[in-house]
Each structure stands twice: as C-alpha cells, then as structure tokens.
Amino acid sequence: MRKHSVWIRAGVLVAAGGLVLAACGGGDDEGGGTGGSTPGAVEIPTTTDQLFYPSDKKGGTLKALSGSDCDSWDPARTYYATCWDQQRWISRSLLNYKQAPNSAELVPDLATEVPTSPDGGKTWTYTLKDGIKFEDGSPITSKDIKYGIERVFATDIINGGPTYVIDYLQTEPAYEGPYKDPSPDKLGLTSIETPDDKTLIFHLNKPFNDWNFIMASPSATPVPQAKDTGDQYTAHPVASGPYKFDKYVPNQSLTLVRNDQWDPATDEVNKALPDSIEITMGLEAADIDNRILNGDADIFLDQTGVDTALRTQLLSDPELRKARTTVDLSGFLRYMSVTTTVKPFDNIHCRNAVAYAVNKQAQVLARGGPTAGAPAPTMLPPTVAYYADFDLFPTPNSAGDIEKAKAELEACGQPDGFSTKLTARGNRPAEVAQATAIQSDLKKIGINVTIEKFDSSQYFSAVLGIPKNMQDKGYGLAMTGWGADWPSPYGFFSSIVDGRKILDQGNSNYAELNDPVVNKGIDDGLAATEDGAAQTAWTTVDKGVVQSAAYIPLIYDKAMNIYSDRITNVFFTPGFNMVNFAALGVVR
Amino acid sequence: MAGFVIRRVLGGIVILWLISVITFLLFFLVPKTLGSNPAILFAGRSPSEAAVAAVTKKLGLDDPLVVQYWNFLKGIFVGRHYNAGPDTTYCPPPCFGYSFKNSQPVWDEITRALPITFSLALGAAVLFLVSGVGIGILSALRRGQLIDRAAMTLALGAVSLPVYFTGLVMLLLVSYEWRLFPNIHYVPFLDNPLLWARNLLPAWIVLAFLYSAMYARLTRASMLDVLGEDYIRTARAKGLPEHQVVGKHALRAALTPVVTIFGLDLGSLLGGAVLTETTFGFRGLGKTSIEAISTGDLPTILGVTIFAAGFVVLANILVDVFYAVVDPRVRPT
C-alpha cells in the first residue's frame, strides 16, 4: 500500500512539474506545438491599428491576473515588458509614450518637454514640471531622478534591470552607486548635473540619439533617497504616478489605490480611470482564461495570449471572438541564428541554403497558426520605427524553395548535405515544435539536424551566450527570439547584430555576425538626425543582416488576448510591446 | 522508551543533515561543475563582470564549498550577514538562505506559504480521514454487497484520477459553470474564517477525493483482516453486541496501519501539495518550490526542500513512536 501510494504521488508530482514548467516556459509561447487547424480568414480586432471601447468614465476596480509576480517592483530592477507597463500605474518617468494606438511617439511626463540634444546626442537637458509630488506629499526634484538613476550603478544590490544608463553615463573613475558614494549627499555621479531642483543636465560619454527612450523607461523614475530601502525597495516603491501600493503580498496579490498626491493637472498622459487595481498573481493559464471569460477578471497582464483550449473555442465562435478578444503583434521576432564560426556555416552559401529551405508557414503553424504569428521576411518587426517591407529570400507562399536551397548547397561545396546541431528551449513546447519543423525542412536538402534541448533558465547564459561553447559543441543553428527594449531600430539591433559587441560571456550576437556594412549602418542610423537618412541607414542594416543569412527571421509574434466585457481603452503601445495598461478603464 | 525516542530523533536529524548536504551540493556544486556561475543567475540579465564578481563575493561563492555549506548551516541557527564591502544584507535566524531574486530571506517565503499549505493539508486531511475510514468500515461490514462494490469501484476510479484532472473538472463545474465558488483565491483564516473555508473547500474536496479513496481501500482491507481474527470470533461468541465488537475490538486494531499511513501522508502533504496548489492558484510550499525551480531561485529551492523534508522526517518519527506505544515489539529496533 505504502509503495503504491508513493508511486502515485511521485507520478502526480512529475506530471505536475511538467505541467507547471510547460506553463511557466510558456511565457511568450502561444501554445502547444502542432497547430494543425488553420482557421482560414479570421476576423479579429487588432489593437495595433485602432483603439477599442474608448471611454473617459472613471470608477470601478480593474481586476488583473498574471502568471507570476513582477521580476521586481523596484523601477531600477524590473525588465519584463509587462512590468514596465504596470510600472506606469505607480511611477512616472521624465518622458512617456503617447497614449494612441501603435504610437512610439514620446511625450513629456515629469519633464516639461521632449528635448533635443544641441551637440549631436551628448548633452540632454530636462526641466521638471511644477506641482509634481511623491505619495507622501514631498515634491519631486531633479535630485530624486538623479538618485534613481544612480541606484542602477550599484549593480551588486540593484540588479536585474537594464543598464543602459551605466553604458552612457559611466565616468572615469567608475561610479559604483550611491551606497558606496563618498560624497555626503550621495549624488556624486558627475555626468548628471542638477543645478537646481527643476533642471537635469545629462553629459553622455558618447553620442546617443535614442537617449529620450531611456528617459521614458523605468530607469528614469524618481526615487526619494530618504525612502530608499536598497534591495527591499520592491516591497513598497514610493509612488509618483496616479496609484500607490495599498496591500502587497509578494507572488500572491497587489492592490493599488489612488495616490491623492498625484495632480492630474501635471499629467497629460495618464487618465487614471479605475478607482483601484487588484492584481492576482501566480495563476495557471487555463484558470486565467476562464476567470476572464466568466467576468471574474478584466485582463491578463502577461499578454501572451489565450491558452490552447480557449483558442480552439474562440476560433469556432466568431461572436465571442469579436466581442472579447484582440490580436496584437507583440513586437517580438522569432528567428534562428546560424553560427558563422561553426563549419560549414562559415560559408555564406551554406547559410543561404538554410534560409531558402525554411518553410515559414510551417513555423507559424508550429506556434499555433495565424493568431500566433505571421511569416517574417525582415528582422525589424512592423511595430518598430523605420520598419521597411522587403524579402531577400522570396519563396512561394513563404513555404521554402528546395531547388534554390540545393543550388546554394552546391555552391557551398556540400551538394550531398551535412550534419549539424540545432539548439532550442526544451521547456517551451512551441519552440520545440518550431525546431522540429526546421529539422524536417532541412532534411529535404540533405542537412541532418540533431535538436539539442536546454532549460530556458540556462539557455542564454550558459549555452548561446558563450561563443566558445557554441563552437566547441558545434551548435550551427539556434532557435531564439527578441523584442526591443524601446521601439527604435537601434534598440532592436544594437545588441543582437553589432559585430563589435561580440562578448566571451553574455553574448547576444549568437551567430557572431561581424559585417562592416551592418556595423556602419548602425552607426549611421544612430547618428542620423533626419528621417530620410535614418530610414536608409536602418534598412541597410536590416537588409545586411538578412542578406548575411547569419540570422534568419522566422515569425513576427502575435498574441490573441481576451478581455472582460467591461474593459475600456484597449490599444497597443510599441514601447511596452503590448496593450497600454495605464489607459485601461472598466466603465463603458 | 525514552532511549527509543531519542534514537529516532537523532536518526531524523542525521537524515535531515544528509538531505541538506545533498541538496546543497546539487544546487551549488552541479552548476559549478557545468561551468556556469550561480552568481550570474542572481546578477540579473546580461550582467557586467564587475556585477558578477560583486555578487559572487556577497554570496560567498568564492569560498571553498565546505565553508559555504558551514555558513549555510550556521545561518539556520544564528542568522547570516551577506557582505560586499559597505553593503550588507542581513538574514535573521532561522536563515534558510536569502533569495536574491525576491530580495528577502527564504524563511519569509516559507512562513508566507506555510499557512496556505497547512490550511489545505489539514482541511483535506479531516475530510479524507472521516470519509475514507467511514466508507472503508462500511464496505468491510457489507462485504460483497452492492454498497461495498459500488464504493470500491468508485474508490478505484478516484485513486486512478490524477489531481490535475479532478481539480480542473472541479474548477470548471463549481467555479466557471455553476458559479458557486467564483474567483477562488486564498483568504487568511484570521481575516475571515468563512471566506477562508469557502475558498479552500473545492481544493479540499479534490485532495480528499484522491486520498479518501486510498483510505477507504486500506481501511476495508485492514478491517476485513481483523474481522477474520480469532479474538473477534471469541468476542462475538461471548455475546458482545455487534457495535462493541466492531467499534471497540475490531476498529482499534484495524486503524493502526491507517494511522501510520496517515502520519506519513500528512507529513508529505505539509511539504506542499504541488498539483492542487498549482491548479487552484494557492501559493503554498509546493507552488513556491515549483516557481523557484522554474526561475532558478537556488536558495529558495534549497530552503523549501530542507523544510519540507523536515515535515516528512518529523512525521516518520511520530509514526514510529506511535507504533512503539501501540506495539511493544517494535521498540528494540
């Protein structure tokens, strides 16, 4: 009996582990594998081009659900797109994104205007508005914003968030954050000047025309020094936005209530419609869908789309689909890197062969069909500025071209094909399905692919991020995906294709592409001051990357999301790569 | 008897110690031998080398493994300071490690999850013990009759159905379809006992469904065994009323193995009912550990594992002692 019951429980536990891991890995996975059912022409509201259920009515409680708690509520330590979006309920930055569908336009938030740099991107000056206050009533000054940025430099305590401010503001000798700051006011970072309480002057160590985007990210959130609790700050970040923490139980729930010190007259961006916001965390995907479907909740904050079961139901119920869902581009590109330092992929013709052989329609199906994505001919997704449509490896219906692929193999001197390895995240079913589809595509031209699976927690740090490891193990192909930290082509490209950013550890240019045309294009694009030049430069980069076949764009990700029947102001903001939460209301 | 208890407790401590050594090695040595530095996991996304070095120093990952383990063990009793120059993070005793992912001592995680796991385990235990034993006795007394066969068939079904199935069916019916228990979430007992019970009830029933089936089968088998014993025949022969034969003589003997199993089951349930907690979104020890595993939060995995193992070891000791009290034959072992 004992043995029996132990056996049962062990089985249950393993099953549970699998279930949960699949769900967690699902983070940005649209669903399991096979896809099979092509729903034909599905008419689904798309937030990327319009605003749904506009309303200015205040009141009510927005009930939100999430698969897990934020990586951190500390503005300096959060890196999940959904959490940056949620931050806007409680915190304001110098700048913000305009609240309009698919708008990457920056507007002033705590600052009075969006500045331009007088010297080609090295100096940036911001002036603060009057009447801006923290939740405790104390005024927000330029020093609070400087202090908030300084915290990012204390990487041994404040880590996990983006470190762009360190890249551009680090001084000589290196600043190590306010906790080790010898100056009495802890404001020793010389690259930021605060001549008075209203003015901030940034002196960057190199020109950077995208700086305003960084100042629209949580890194530019004011933090009052007196209330800074170091690595505990996530327990109660001091609100500068329209809502503040009321009750927070980490990993379980968070209630936000109105911040009575927030003055709507100082804020053109936030409408702050709901009276309160309740977030319930750590729920299972199917449970989340059903709660929203039944009106127990309004929105799924992860915005990774509905689970397989509900998707099937929605695809067969046009009325429900129209009334309760939207399909959103996620600003995320699924692509495959072809390691240029692993033979025979050092030869461009062998890479071209792969680029021609891949069936992108099969990739879309592997991720769950047209509601999960669209075939991608370019690296830049359509949500990023300066996106241009082109196809350098045209194949019939994006389904691959065996003849052209074989001709390239011939040119590569491998007419009979060869063997190579493809890496993927084993706990992401859709990615494994993608890898399997590629395996069968390449089989057709004689390339035998062995799929090697890794856990997602180790995938980038221990496998793809170490070039020597890729070379030693002979990982010629790798499945991956990427979304930009801000909706500009520089934000999208800089760390993944710049040949000068290949690192021994923590590398993001997995294919080790080092193409002078691409590198120069990035510099040109960054330096460009007018739209025409920028467009030319970034299209050159995009084309250069695709042409190199070191990276093969596969899918522009999409997600079909479900909402309650009372939610208002649903639209997509590229800066968060999802629906803008701060605009949502619950009274129609 | 006192010697026996002391021996058992000491044995339990040794086992716990071994578990702590093995889990510690598993989570800190294995990543190291595979060439990945655990500090990278703590230092955030694409950290700089300086940040990794600082975190390594702070967590003491550059110390010899024995020292690291000793610091961990010591922390449980006296607390621990994580130092990196002027910046110090204090983890008060009992310090089961410090989760740098959640920026809090693992002990806080455990104490937050524990009431949920307790509520779930104890409520379910009451349900499955009463119903399981009741059905088992009834089945044994009505052996071979319709009620026995029906109950045992049902029990076979219940044992075979996994919690992730019954749990989802339960949610579908009572929460989504009939709306009897909408929007299930954990409410602390002290906040509102009524809401506490209301939110937990579906989960209790799901857990109890599985367990009571096992207990019904166990009780029935054990009861039938005992009812065939000579002393029961003697009791009946000397004219004791049936309720006394069953209630006083048979039941007491039949329940001994049931109580044994119950102790062990409760021990492992208190370590976290992973599936039930996950299905219903209750963040008890089980769900906490699963989340820690998926996010690579090593200190939390280590702390929760040792803590959950503690429950199982404790339950084993209690069962052993209980057995020794009931049955003197086991004492010398």
% of residues, chain A, pLDDT over 70 = 92
Distance, CA of B53 to CA of A505 (rounded, Å): 14
Is the pLDDT reported for residue B174 higher than 70? Answer: yes
Is the pLDDT reported for residue A10 higher than 50? Answer: no
Cβ pair B280, B186 in contact under 8 A:
no
Residues 6 or more apart whose CB falls under 8 angstroms from that of B88 comprise: B81, B82
* A193 DSSP β-pair partners: A201
Mean pLDDT of A270-299: 93
Mean pLDDT of B240-257: 87
Is the pLDDT reported for residue A194 higher than 60? Answer: yes
CB-based contact B44 A506, cutoff 8 Å: no
CB-based contact A457 B295, cutoff 8 Å: yes
The whole-number pLDDT of residue B170 equals 92
Query: What value does the CA radius of gyration of chain A take, rounded to a whole number of Å?
Result: 24
Mean pLDDT of B157-183: 89
Cβ pair A182, A173 in contact under 8 A:
no
Cβ pair B308, B109 in contact under 8 A:
no
Is the pLDDT reported for residue A260 higher than 50? Answer: yes
CA distance B66 to chain A (A): 24
The whole-number pLDDT of residue A61 equals 97
Enter the tokens of residue A202. Answer: 């940034």
Residue range B26-48, pLDDT digits in tens: 877 766 666 666 777 676 666 66
CB-based contact B87 A180, cutoff 8 Å: yes
Is the pLDDT reported for residue A135 higher than 90? Answer: yes
Which residues from chain A sit within 8 angstroms of residue B42, using beta carbons? 159
The whole-number pLDDT of residue A494 equals 86
Which residues in chain A (104-163) have CB-CB distances under 8 A to chain B? 154-157, 159-163
- pLDDT band, residue A353 (cuts 50/70/90): very high
Which residues from chain A sit within 8 angstroms of residue B85, using beta carbons? 180
Q: Which of B36, B45, B287 sits opposite A160 (nearest CB)?
A: B45
Which residues from chain A sit within 8 angstroms of residue B300, using beta carbons? none
DSSP B279-306: HHT--SHHHHHHHHHHHT-HHHHHHHHH
Distance, CA of A565 to CA of A325 (rounded, Å): 10
Distance, CA of A58 to CA of A473 (rounded, Å): 58
Residue A430 to residues A330, A379, A401: CA-CA distances in angstroms? 16, 20, 24
CB-based contact A166 B48, cutoff 8 Å: yes
The whole-number pLDDT of residue A272 equals 95
Residue B316 DSSP code: H
- pLDDT band, residue A18 (cuts 50/70/90): very low
The whole-number pLDDT of residue A14 equals 34
- What ipTM was estimated for this complex? 0.81
The whole-number pLDDT of residue A35 equals 33
The whole-number pLDDT of residue A530 equals 86
Instruction: Give the N- to C-terminal CA distance of chain B in Å, as an integer.
Output: 11
Which of the residue ranges A71-75, B78-82, B166-170 would you say has the lowest mean pLDDT?
Answer: B78-82
- pLDDT band, residue A330 (cuts 50/70/90): confident
Cβ pair A444, A357 in contact under 8 A:
yes
Q: Strand locations in A154-242, DSSP E?
A: 192-193, 199-203
Distance, CA of B218 to CA of B234 (rounded, Å): 25
Residue B167 to residues A289, B26, B184, B225: CA-CA distances in angstroms? 16, 32, 12, 34
Which residues from chain A sit within 8 angstroms of residue B296, using beta carbons? 457-458
CA distance B70 to chain A (A): 23
Is the pLDDT reported for residue A33 higher than 80? Answer: no
Distance, CA of A106 to CA of A113 (rounded, Å): 10
Q: What is the mean pLDDT of chain B?
A: 86
CB-based contact B281 A232, cutoff 8 Å: no
Domain ranges of chain A: 61-278+563-586, 331-558
Task: Establish if A179 touches chain B: CB-CB under 8 angstroms.
Answer: yes
* A452 DSSP β-pair partners: A423
Phi first, then psi: give them for residue A558, nearest 5 degrees: -135, 160
DSSP A483-523: E-SSSSHHHHHHHHH-GGG--SSS---TT----HHHHHHHH
Cβ pair B299, B286 in contact under 8 A:
no
Could you give the strand order of the β-sheet that contains A276-280, starting from the edge strand earlier in sequence?
Answer: A243-249, A253-258, A276-280, A61-65, A299-300
Enter the tokens of residue A63. Answer: 């009930």
Residue range A493-502, pLDDT digits in tens: 988 999 998 9
% of residues, chain B, pLDDT over 70 = 92
Higher pLDDT, B100 or B111: B111
Mean pLDDT of A320-340: 90
- pLDDT band, residue A15 (cuts 50/70/90): very low
Cβ pair A356, A393 in contact under 8 A:
yes
Is the pLDDT reported for residue B261 higher than 70? Answer: yes
Chosen from A5, A278, A503 to mutate, greatest number of chain B CBs within 10 A: A5
The whole-number pLDDT of residue A36 equals 33
Judging by DSSP bridges, how do beta strands A61-65 and A299-300 pair with one another? Answer: parallel
Q: Strand locations in B21-111, DSSP E?
A: 80-84, 87-91, 98-99, 104-105
Residue B292 to residues A69, A378, B109, B308: CA-CA distances in angstroms? 12, 37, 11, 14
Distance, CA of A53 to CA of A325 (rounded, Å): 12
The whole-number pLDDT of residue B63 equals 83
CB-based contact B51 A232, cutoff 8 Å: no
CB-based contact A290 B279, cutoff 8 Å: no
Taking CA–CA distances from A23, the nearest residue in chain B reads B294
Enter the tokens of residue A84. Answer: 């940056």
Enter the tokens of residue A557. Answer: 């990700």
Taking CA–CA distances from B276, the nearest residue in chain A reads A16
Higher pLDDT, B243 or A376: A376
CA distance B180 to chain A (A): 13
CA atoms within 13 A on the CB side of A387: 18
Q: Which of B49, B221, B275 sits opposite A12 (nearest CB)?
A: B275
CB-based contact B175 A290, cutoff 8 Å: yes
Q: What is the CATH number of domain A61-278+563-586?
A: 3.40.190.10
Residue range A386-442, pLDDT digits in tens: 999 999 999 999 999 999 999 999 999 999 999 999 999 988 889 999 999 999 999
Q: What is the CATH number of domain A331-558?
A: 3.10.105.10
